[in-house]
Structure 1
Amino acid sequence: MTTTRVSYIDGLRGWAALSVMLFHVFWETFGAKFPEFRSHALAFFLNGHVAVFVFFILSGDALSHPFIQSGNIANIQKSAGYRYFRLTIPIILSCLITYILMKLGWTLNHQAAPIVDRPDWLGAFLPFEANFGDLIKYTTYAVYTNHSNGNSYNPFLWTMGIEMIGSLLVFAYLLVMKSSLDKVKPTIFVIIFFVLQRSYFCLFFVGILLAQWRAIHGLQFTHMRKQKIIASVLLGAAFSYQLFTGHVGGGFNGRNILGAIFIVAAIYLHPSFQQAMSSRPSLWLGDISFPLYLVHFAAIISVAAPLAVWLDQQHALNFWTATAVGLCTSVISLVAAQLFMRTENMIQARVRPIVMRNLGLR
């Protein structure tokens, strides 16, 4: 069997990253002052919580797919051995950007918070003086073990502890079940266990289940015409729920969990949806998905926040100028993500051989 990357996974991850960015830029930053950004019509596209849950599902699939397809245990060993560095290097880079912005005095989130009516969110970020030692402590281990707004140079990194432990659980499960990965019942039992524990880790195992199903059945379980209808119903249900309720909630929320599963399942089951996620724009977003997730916080505090303060001083802050600020912040985030990706790839290309050699995993 082939072990090539599944392109629609990358594309879907890219759109999810874009959704998270837009959620933070429009819904969170300006939505309290301008409720138009929190309309029911936008809830599906700006539900950052669902998008993060989609990330977790796709991580479980992407991490397990190569081994399930090939049975080559080296795939697990190499991925597990380098996982810490794969996540930590870009985390350090993203937080270093915030550190530099703080030192330059270009972070105006505290000044902007009361202006956009978000002292509870924008005003809660970076409540400390920039310190290089604290930066190193946070980025190398606290981001995974002790993340909070009180110590974080990027508060959107609350997901990284879940991502790291979830990844390790995926690798451990694959190693334990290596000769029985054609059986989906154990995976279903693990999913149920973590659901009962109200743990995000259930989503990683949903991803494993999808990778297993792809390897066993090619993700087809009925006549293709019926399957397309099912996929359309699932996506329509997720969209309709957001449209009629406008609900966007955080934490372990069953509605968002189901929404994420419905969206991923719909994409996986419908060839046209897969094709859309494999298009060039989608794959480009997939390439910059993690960098985009990492850099848009810096754009919010150094672009959106200062512009909001300036517009308020000019008595010109309104829905339309806030929209312009949000679009400007989004474009800058996309450009920064592209540059970030190139820098990170260069560093990873140098570090990975060294780590693999020292771990004996060439």
Structure 2
Amino acid sequence: MTAVAEPEAATAEVVPDARQRTHWLDGVRGAAALFVVLHHMWLGSWPFFPEDRGPVWLGWLLYGHLAVAVFIVVSGYSLALAPLRHGGELVGGLRRFIRRRAWRILPAYWAALVLSMLLFVTLIEPSTGAGTATKSFVVHGLLLQDVIGNVAPNGTFWSIAIEWQIYFLFPVMLLLALRFGMVRVVLLTAGIVLVAHLLAGTDTVLSKINNVSPQFLLLFALGVLAAWTAHGRAPRPPRWALAGVAGASAAGLVTLAVAQGSPWMVGHWFWVDVIAGTGFAALLLLLSDSRSPVRDRTLGSRPAVFLGSFSYSLYLIHGPLLALAEEHVVEPLDLSPLAHFAVLLVLVLPVVLVACYAFFRLFERPFLTRRDFASLRTLPAWTLVAGRGRKRAAAGEELPVYR
């Protein structure tokens, strides 16, 4: 896809480290994924959502939804880095971009869908009818679970559909940004998202607009703007202003949570996400400063980057694993809520992390290191199967033919 560069940014240069992997972003992803896991452990211990009946000092775990807002902002930021290396253009156009995005997220997602569905219909909700399960499987397989009603086999899959749909709008954002500037694109996106939210408040078929969480499109655009700004294609606000926006966002969320209560917050996710996403985009821009030793010692540390390396797999399958542990291990112990949470934290969480890492090695990592089906043939498992086939052929055994 080609586009006309905006005149004022035609000579802008990308900072030298734009071509290198931004490891600290993995730390952000890992922290957000772990927050979601802790949130679901909290829900299993105090199952009164959206009411907060747990200890005050654990009340922040009720808001695991905000981690999804973080993921969306980070997605916008990280996906903007590659075009920024080429003057803001999406090299290869829409087809290449969608193909690469599909190769990145769909294999692990589909594997997680199969695993989640099997666990759901056999161990978690065995009373699920065949028709219901089939519809859910097809809807989720097509990434339409946010627009078609279904029974969810995995509570985290809803956000994958939303992000996938946003991908198709990303090239449009880039085209408009190169023509009019990214700041104007964000303002335009904000206007469209606000109108969509207002229409969703009407007593018509348009009320279903909120099912696709339109605010996440704005958060994605804010992430793109943060990358655009960090690499010199938009005016960079002073650090004190960015810190002020991030601090005001955090203070505003805490104030609302205390003054209005968690049911109100959950009932107003649109505005809560917008506030949180704006603050996090400002924080992300602050963190993008190469002179950030604190960032490198925390988010860029080896444990944080390692956790972030399989954060997608952790996000995808921790839900059914926790549900199994809840139903078959922890609940029979009949513990107090706090003891229930402690058992999940100390005993179950390490097992879940190991299982998710194993899932990552099997179903996600091969598609990170290999970019097409031909290169998948170099996988040890494929080589092993192919080797057995050659031995069988040499022995004169007839091999099956797949068409």
Tell me the TM-score normalised to structure 1 length.
0.77
8 A Cα contact 1:13 1:55, kept in partner: yes
8 A Cα contact 1:88 1:140, kept in partner: no
8 A Cα contact 2:45 2:340, kept in partner: yes
Hey, what does 1:116 align to over in structure 2?
none
**Residues 93 and 253 (structure 1), Cα distance of their counterparts in 2 relative to 1, 3 Å cut:** same
Which of 103, 106, 111 in structure 2 is aligned with 1:93?
111
Q: Which amino acid aligns with 2:107?
A: I
- Greater mean alpha carbon deviation, residues 135-144 or residues 88-97: 135-144
Which runs of 5 or more structure 2 residues have no equivalent in the other structure? 1-13, 198-213, 376-403
**Pair 1:163 & 2:182 matched:** no
**Pair 1:258 & 2:275 matched:** yes
8 A Cα contact 1:234 1:266, kept in partner: no
Hey, what does 1:179 align to over in structure 2?
178
Matches within 5 A, 1:1-362: 1=14, 2-26=18-42, 28-32=43-47, 38-71=54-87, 73-74=90-91, 77=94, 78-102=96-120, 105-107=122-124, 127-129=128-130, 137-143=138-144, 146=147, 148-150=149-151, 152-174=152-174, 176-177=175-176, 179-180=178-179, 182-198=181-197, 199-200=214-215, 201-216=217-232, 220-222=236-238, 224=239, 228=243, 231-232=246-247, 234-239=249-254, 241-242=256-257, 247=262, 248-249=265-266, 252-269=269-286, 271=292, 274-275=295-296, 276-311=298-333, 316-327=334-345, 328-348=347-367, 352-354=371-373
Distance 2:153 2:367 in 1: 22
For residues 93-144 of structure 1, give each alpha carbon's deviation from its aligned partner in whole angstroms, at most 9, with x where no partner exists.
11222234356x433x68xxxxxxxxxxxxxxx8334999667624431545
Distance 2:58 2:235 in 1: 30
CA RMSD of aligned residues (A): 3.5
Distance 2:283 2:368 in 1: 35
Q: Which amino acid aligns with 1:64?
A: A
Q: Which amino acid aligns with 2:141?
A: T
- Greater mean alpha carbon deviation, residues 268-277 or residues 295-304: 268-277
Q: Which amino acid aligns with 2:58?
A: L
Hey, what does 1:122 align to over in structure 2?
none
Shift in Å, 1:155: 3.0
Shift in Å, 1:57: 1.5
Shift in Å, 1:31: 1.4
| 2:230 alignment partner, SS class | helix
**Residues 279 and 261 (structure 1), Cα distance of their counterparts in 2 relative to 1, 3 Å cut:** farther
Shift in Å, 1:236: 4.7
**Residues 98 and 186 (structure 1), Cα distance of their counterparts in 2 relative to 1, 3 Å cut:** closer
**% identity of equivalent residues:** 20
> Which has the higher Rg, Structure 1 or Structure 2?
2
For residues 212-237 of structure 1, give each alpha carbon's deviation from its aligned partner in whole angstroms, at most 9, with x where no partner exists.
11122798522x46655664554455
8 A Cα contact 2:32 2:67, kept in partner: yes
Distance 1:227 1:82 in 2: 33
Q: Which amino acid aligns with 2:171?
A: F
8 A Cα contact 2:310 2:356, kept in partner: yes
Distance 1:69 1:351 in 2: 22
| 2:142 alignment partner, SS class | helix
Distance 1:273 1:265 in 2: 17
Distance 2:69 2:110 in 1: 23
Shift in Å, 1:67: 0.4
Distance 1:43 1:256 in 2: 18
Shift in Å, 1:52: 1.0
**Residues 130 and 329 (structure 1), Cα distance of their counterparts in 2 relative to 1, 3 Å cut:** farther
Tell me the TM-score normalised to structure 2 length.
0.70
Distance 1:343 1:8 in 2: 24
**Residues 44 and 217 (structure 1), Cα distance of their counterparts in 2 relative to 1, 3 Å cut:** farther
Hey, what does 1:359 align to over in structure 2?
none
